[in-house]
Structures are given as structure tokens and as C-alpha cells.
Structure 1
Amino acid sequence: MLTLRLTFAAPPLALLLRLLLLCASTGIGLLLLATLSYALDHPEDRATALLRLLWCTVPLAVTAQLAAALGRTEPRAEARSGLDAAGLGPAGLPLLVARTTAAPSVTGSALALLVTARGIGAAGGVGGSALGPALPGTSAALPLSGQPLPAPAALTLLSIVPLLAALAAAWGARAAVPGATAGPDESWASTASRALLRSSRTPSIEPTAEQRDGTGAPGRAGLLCGTVLAIGGLLLAAVAARSAASGEAARSGAVGDSAASGGWTVRAEDIAASPLAAGWLLAAFGLLLAGPGLTALSGRLLGSVRPGPVRLLAGRSLVREAAFLGRPLGGLSAVGAALVALARARLSGNGPLAPGPLVVLAGVLTGCCMAGAVLAALARARSARAPLRELLDRIGAPGRLGRAVTLLRAAVTAVVFTALAMTAGLLTALPPH
């Protein structure tokens, strides 16, 4: 009952995140069941079936990140304090958050099972015809076999998403208990007050700011490792694309030995197992890892060289929020880089082979989950800036100061990560068509 009350009384952002989680669970359930169906239809091709199952871990990872973001933002601070006063301590709150997060995931998995069974019934199989009328066009959109799926295997695959979402939400709720967030808020208020009082005579950010915000050495290490991984992934994709192009040229030529082809054959089923796809994935992981360090670096550069109050407050807030805001922004920039690369390929007329429905579904799920994680991080950043707004109100600062800080911070973040996505998308190598 408490889980239902918290679910129905949630704010609009939490309801939106739960809706995204439900849709993501449904989509991942369809991907997993389609992989199981392929394995049943091709029992001799175990390597391809295993590869399809491994690629399902990418939307699974972003769904877990969305569930962790939901666990950090829900329940609200007022509800957390009330639950803590009612006797639900730090150990009981993650369990409650896990239950409230697992509810939409279980619903999405049940919808995936229902849609899959009706799709099999539409295809003329014997396993799904008893579940009701077939959905129009389902059998054409889903690559399902006519034979019924084994119930133990299907239920095992569908239980992965709710279990992973519950664990991720519980893990996210551990760092958001009331006792754990009081310290950083107080330190941020004191930091903001010192920054505002010393803005007229402090030429740059204090040397001990890195130790206070906790994003100094870890942020620099993440930025360095992410940059190296992103560059390495782009280079690996470029080498793989060049090797594939030379291999296709050697195969299509009338002269030359056919065994001299050093590249892999460019087909739709070969791209997922190629070094090109490995380079794409490595570059995306590098962008995700470099997000917090890049956000902190932008804040430090914004608050350097004799900053005024607006620049100083905007820079320090970016440094403060880099730990939880940078990673979703880095993931969203990876999705943007993929869209830029696809648009560049379509405009140049040398685009890759048309992706199938499962690839499109996985891409849409990844983008939506990353957008939801960014929205949750922005809501958390807004709540973390509440002491600064109260401080500005107490000292009688004009309202345009807070608006200028917000606009400057948003503009710098948008410019930095848009440039990152554009650069990565323009440098991404694509397979020859």
C-alpha cells in the first residue's frame, strides 16, 4: 500500500521517469524475446545468438542508469524526512525505492510478453493464439518465430530487467538518504557565501575547492581516461572501416588473390561483430566517462581570470554538480554523436545499410533513457542549488543575478557538450556502402 501511495503521489518528473522505465522495460523485453526466438530458429548459429544477447546489455545499462536516477530523486525530501520519522531508516528506504521502481519494470515486462505472444499468434503459431486477437502488424514488425517460446527461458529473460532496475534504484537511494545529503548542502551554502563575499577581490577559485567538492583528482582521472578511450575508439573504428573498404575493393577486383583481402565482409549481420562496432562502443563509453571531468573543467575555466559574481557562482555550481550531472550529459552527447554520424552518412549518400527494427528499437530506448537520466540530474541539481537561492534572497541580491547565473551555466553546458557531440559525430567512421 505504501508503494502504491508513493507511486500515485509522485511529482510529474517522477511519473515521467516511471513511464520511461515502463517503456524501456517493454522494449528490452521485446529485444530479449526476439533474441530467444532467433536462437530457437537457428540452433546451429550459437555465436550470432550470443552476440545478439550481448548487445542487449547496452540498453540494459542505460535502463539501470535511469532506474538509479529515479532512486536518487524519489521519494522527495519531505517524504524522506517523514518516512525517517516513521521509523523507516537508511536500510528500509532503499528497499522501498526498489519496490516502487520494480513495479513499472514488471508491468513493462508483462506487456512485452503479451505483445510477443499476440505477435506469435498473428504469425500463425500455436503458442499465442489463445491469448486474444492478434495486434495488427505485430508479426511483421517483430522477428519472431512461429513456434511457441519456452516459458522458463522467457520468464528468466524478462525477470532480468525488473531485478536490475530494483538493484540500481536501491543503490541510487543509498546516497540520497537525508543524513547523507546534509553535509554537502551545508558545505555548498558556506562555499557560496564565501564566494559571494570574496567575488570582488578573489582573482580565481580557491586552491582548496577541489578537496571540498570531491571532483578534483577523480574528475581529472575520469577526463583523461575518457579522452583516451574516446580517441582510441574513434581510431579503431577508422582503421576497421579502412580495412573493410580495402577488403571489399580487393574482393570486387578482377585481378588479385581473393585470400589477400584483409577486411571483413560488410553485411548487416557482420557489423555487430566487427571492430567497427567495438570502436563505436568504446568511443561512447569514453564520452560517458569524460562527462564529469569535462563539466568540472568547464566550471573551473568559467570561474578563472578575475571572475565577477555571476561567473564565479556559475563556475562553482558547475564544479559542485559535475559528480552527478556530467555522466548523463556525457551519455547524451554520445547519443547525439551517433545521430550526427547517421545524418552525415545520409546527407553524403554513403550511408551504412539500413538498420533493422531491433536496432532502431535499441537506439530509441538508449536515447530516451539517457534523456530521462539528464532530466533527473537537472532536477537534482536544482534541489542542490536551493541553499544558494536562499542565500541570495537573504542578502538582498537582485533576482536577475540568479537568472543570469542559471542562463550562463546552461549556455556553457550546452555549448561544451554540443561541441563534443558534433566533433565525435563528424570524426566517427562508418562502414562502406
Structure 2
Amino acid sequence: MLTLRLTLAAPPLALLLRLLLVCASAGLGLLLLATLSFALDNPDQRAAALVRLAWCLVPLAVTAHLAAALARTEPGTEARCGLDSAGLGPARLPLLVARTAALPAVAGSAAALLVAARSGIAGSSGVLTVPQLPDALARLPLPELSLPTPAAATLLSTVPLLAALAAAWGARPGAPRPWTGTEDTGAAAAASAAGAGSETRATTEPRKVSCRVGLLVGAVLTAGGLLLAAYAARDAAAGGSPGLGGWTFPAEDVAASPLAAGWLLAAFGLVLAGPGLVMLSGRLLGAVRPGPVRLLTGRTLIREAPFLGRELGALSAVGAALVALVRARLTDAGAAVLPGPLVGASVALSGCCVAGAALAALVRARRARAPLRGLLERIGAPQGLVRAVTLLRACVTSVVFAGPAVLAGMFTALPPH
């Protein structure tokens, strides 16, 4: 009952994320059923079936990340004192959040099952046919034979189970939380009263080191992914080599080629480099005798780098994919870049989930800045200062993450056509 009340009384952002989770779970269920039907129809093509299953892992991981973002937007995860007094301790609170995240995922899996069941009812003599869907979904290899019930149930239960685990992990007591603007004041007072300045620096220093290491590793992975894709495209244009099997990159072979591995590696590098980019931009803004606007903007960016940078890095990877897709359309290589509806649906689901998680992170950051805005109002700061800080922060983050997205999309190698 408490899970249902939290679902019905959720804020608009949580409702939007739940709707995205329902759509992602339904689309992912159709992809998993399509992969199972391909494996049953082509038992001699095990490698191709594994490739299709591997392409389903990408939206599965992004859907789990969306469920974790949904868990962090729940207001109950912040008011732990009141929930503890109500009997929800550190062990029961993740279970409650897991149930609230698993409910929309179960609804999406049920919708995918209803689509497959409706197509089976419409068929004759027990043969499942493709339902009346849009062209992009009608081309999915939905089963031409009846699927085994245990296998279909196992695949469809994967998404709710993983969403529940990710939500419980995101709502754990030790999960990272955004800076609320009052922690520096309390830490400074404690340091001045008890001499705990070294302890305060010790808690913030690991985050800075992790952001720096993430920036370095992300840059290396992004460069390595772009080089791997360029090497694979050049080898395919030259006619292939014995080591690579002589690929010529038809539409059905791109998903299993080093070209796709290079794309995924570059995207993962952009995600890892996100916190370091945010922290670096904040430090550059706060350098060389900054004014109030630059100082406040730089400090907030540094504080928000650990939890906001990865979401913006993932959004930058999606932007790079869009730039590469536009290049492919302009160079008549679009048919080779999107090998059929399976990869296209995976990319669309991943993009929607990444956008939802980034929106949740931005709202959490805005909510965390409320004490700082209240403090500025109490000391009589002009409203133009707050607007200038907001505008400068938005411009800096847009430029910092749009630049790598455009560069990665422009330098990403495309299949020869």
C-alpha cells in the first residue's frame, strides 16, 4: 500500500521517469523476445544470436541506470529521520524504493508480453505473426514459431529484477548525494572550533582525485575507441584482412565488427570523463582573481562534478551519436550505420533513458542549490547575480560537453559505402 501511495503521490519528474521506465521496459522486452525468436529460428547461427543479445545489454544497462536515477529522485530517500521513526530503517528503505522502481518495469514487461500474445492470438494454427506495429517495429524479427514459456518469462523478468536492484543500490544509505550548500558552513565551523580542517580536506580530496583519474582514463578510452573504429573502417575499405575475416561491412555485420566496439568504447570514455570535465571547467572559472559570479559558478560546478558529470557525459555520448548519424545521412552511409531495427531500437531506448537520467540529475542539482539561493537572498544579493550565475553555469556546461560531442561525432569513422 505504501508503494502504491508513493507512486500515485509522486512529483511530476518522478512520474515522467516512471513513464520512461515503462516505455524502456516494454521496448527492451520486445528486443529480448526478438533475440530469442532469432535464436530459435536460426539454431546454427549462434554467433549472430550472441551479437543480438549483446546489443540488448546496452539498453539494459541504461535502463538500470534510469531506475537508479528514479530512486534518487524519491523524496523519501532524503528524509531518513522521519522514515526511521516510521519504522523504515536503512534496510527497509532500499526495499521500498526497489518496489516502487520495479512496478513500472513490470508494467512495461507485461505490455511487451501482451504485444507478443496478441500477435499469437491473431495468427492461425498456433503460429505467432508480427502484430500491426509501425514500420520500425514491424521489421523486428518477432517469433514465427511459438516461444517457450520459461525462456520468455525469464527474459521478461530480467528487466524488473535489474531495475529493482539498481534502485535499491541508488537508495542505499552510503549513496553519493549532491551538495546542499550548507555542508561547507558546518564543516568550516567545526574546523574552526575543533581544528578538524584536515579531516574536511580528507573527505573532499578523494573526490577530486577520482575526477582527475576519470578524466585521464576517459580521454584515453575515447581516443582508443576512435582509433579502433578508424582502423576497422580503413581495413574494410581496403577489402579486409585475414585477421579481421575480410569484412566488407554489410548492414548485418556492423553490429559484430570492431567498428561498433570502437563506438561503444568512445561513448564509455565520454561518460568517464564527464566529472573531470565539470571539475576542470569549475577550476578554470575560479582562477585568475574571479568575481562573485565566476567564483560562485566555479564552486558549484566543482561541488556538483561527482554526481552531475557522468550524466552530462552520457548525454554528450548521445549527442556524438546524433552527429555521426547526421554525417552518415549526408554521406549516404546511413543504411550501414543502423543495421536494421534491432540496433536502431537499442539506440533509441538508450538515448531516451540517458536523457531522463540527465534531467533527473539536473533537477537534483537545482534542488540542492536551494539553501545557497536562500542564503544569497538573506544577505541581500541582487537577483541579477543569481540569474548571471545560472546563465554562466548553463553556458559553460553546454560548451564543455557540446565540444567533445561534436568532435567525437565528426571524427567517428563510418562504414565504407
Q: TM-score normalised to the size of structure 1?
A: 0.87
One of 358, 372, 377 as aligned partner of 1:374: 358
SS class of match (1:108): helix
Contact kept? 2:275, 2:306, Cα under 8 Å: yes
Contact kept? 1:213, 1:319, Cα under 8 Å: no
Change (3 A) 1:316 1:368: same
CA deviations 1:292-315 (Å, max 9, x no partner) are 111111111111111011101111
Tell me the equivalent position of 1:273: 256
Contact kept? 1:119, 1:142, Cα under 8 Å: no
Q: How does 1:9-408 map to 2 (within 5 A)?
A: 9-76=9-76, 80-122=80-122, 124=124, 126=126, 135=132, 140-175=138-173, 185-189=181-185, 212=204, 214-247=206-239, 263-353=246-336, 354-408=338-392
Q: Counterparts of 1:189 and 1:402 in 2: how far apart (Å)?
A: 19
Q: Counterparts of 2:215 and 2:79 in 1: how far apart (Å)?
A: 36
SS class of match (2:207): coil
Change (3 A) 1:68 1:213: farther
Contact kept? 1:243, 1:262, Cα under 8 Å: no
- Give the aligned residue type for 2:72: R
CA deviations 1:195-215 (Å, max 9, x no partner) are xxxxxxxxxxxxx97963753
Change (3 A) 1:414 1:191: farther
SS class of match (1:379): helix
SS class of match (2:182): helix
Shift of 1:398: 1.2
**What residue ranges of structure 2 are gaps of 5+ in the alignment?**
190-199
Question: Please, which moves more after superposition, 47-56 or 158-167?
Answer: 47-56
Question: Please, which moves more after superposition, 305-314 or 69-78?
Answer: 69-78
Question: Please, which moves more after superposition, 347-356 or 30-39?
Answer: 347-356
**What residue ranges of structure 1 are gaps of 5+ in the alignment?**
194-207, 251-258
Tell me the equivalent position of 1:422: 406
CA deviations 1:345-396 (Å, max 9, x no partner) are 2113344425322222111101100000001101111122122112112211
Contact kept? 1:66, 1:372, Cα under 8 Å: yes
Shift of 1:321: 0.5
- Give the aligned residue type for 1:417: F
Contact kept? 1:291, 1:327, Cα under 8 Å: yes
Q: Counterparts of 2:408 and 2:239 in 1: how far apart (Å)?
A: 26
- Give the aligned residue type for 2:163: A
Tell me the equivalent position of 2:196: none
Q: Counterparts of 1:40 and 1:81 in 2: how far apart (Å)?
A: 53
Tell me the equivalent position of 1:198: none
- Give the aligned residue type for 1:239: Y
Contact kept? 1:142, 1:357, Cα under 8 Å: yes
SS class of match (1:117): helix
- Give the aligned residue type for 2:248: T
Q: Counterparts of 1:396 and 1:341 in 2: how far apart (Å)?
A: 48
- Give the aligned residue type for 1:312: L
- Number of residue pairs aligned between Structure 1 and Structure 2: 405
Change (3 A) 1:176 1:211: closer
Q: TM-score normalised to the size of structure 2?
A: 0.90
Shift of 1:77: 6.3
Q: Percent same amino acid at aligned positions?
A: 67
